[in-house]
């Protein structure tokens, strides 16, 4: 089974074993994210939640969560939501923009929540039938252990059908 097909299969189920397998697979597939210790905590039809543990590597010099760890959590959550709805085998996803609005310091483990309805995914797929590439804005909310919102992460993704990708 190809890696993209395996990821899509694991994302389709929200059970402990699928989330654990996905955690391990993503550590290999995206080495940059591996040191952060991300864990999938929810894989609902229209929502992906990923946790970011509070340990030294994710902290800044003041002892709170590093701004870049928070931004990476938001990007990862949004990207996996898109993969869940669109798949990896048909569409190429590239991050085009990333911005973060911080509300509070992250002093505990954090949880990223990205939502995307099947209807919104259907609209995006329809748009991709008439356009070669689409810039798609997606947002992730970041919460601390007390369920306080600490950040909003805005991502813009370039989505393109793999058949329309020209590699040099």
Digitized pLDDT (tens) for each residue of the chain, 168 residues in all: 477 788 888 888 888 998 998 898 899 888 888 889 999 999 998 999 999 999 988 889 988 899 999 999 999 999 999 999 998 888 999 999 999 999 999 999 999 999 999 999 999 999 999 999 999 999 999 999 999 999 999 999 999 988 888 877
- Count: domains in the chain: 1
Question: Which structural domain range is residue 78 located in?
Answer: 3-164
Name the one residue in this structure whose structure tokens are 């949004």: 78
Q: For residue 110, what is the enclosing H or E element?
A: strand 110-115
110 in Cβ contact with 73 (< 8 Å): yes
Structure tokens, 112: 């990223």
For position 43, what pLDDT does the model report? 93
| pTM of the complete model beyond 0.85 | yes
Q: List beta partners, residue 49.
A: 42, 113
Distance CA 65, CA 54 (A): 7
46: domain CATH number?
A: 3.10.129.10
């Amino acid at each position: 089974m190809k890696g993209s097909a395996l990821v899509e299969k694991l994302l389709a189920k929200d059970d402990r074993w699928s989330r654990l397998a996905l955690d391990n697979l993503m550590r290999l597939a995206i080495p940059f994210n591996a040191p952060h210790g991300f864990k999938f905590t929810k894989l609902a039809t229209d929502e992906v939640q990923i946790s970011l543990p509070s340990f030294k590597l994710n902290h800044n010099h003041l002892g709170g969560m590093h701004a870049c760890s928070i931004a990476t959590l938001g990007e990862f959550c949004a990207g996996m939501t898109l993969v869940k709805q669109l798949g990896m085998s048909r569409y190429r996803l590239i991050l085009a923009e990333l911005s973060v609005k911080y509300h509070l310091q992250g002093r505990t483990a954090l949880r990223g929540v990205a939502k995307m309805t099947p209807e919104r995914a259907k609209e995006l797929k329809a748009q991709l039938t008439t356009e070669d590439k689409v810039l798609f804005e997606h947002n992730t909310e970041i919460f601390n252990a007390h369920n306080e919102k600490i950040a909003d992460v805005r991502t813009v993704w370039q989505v393109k059908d793999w058949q329309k990708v020209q590699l040099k």
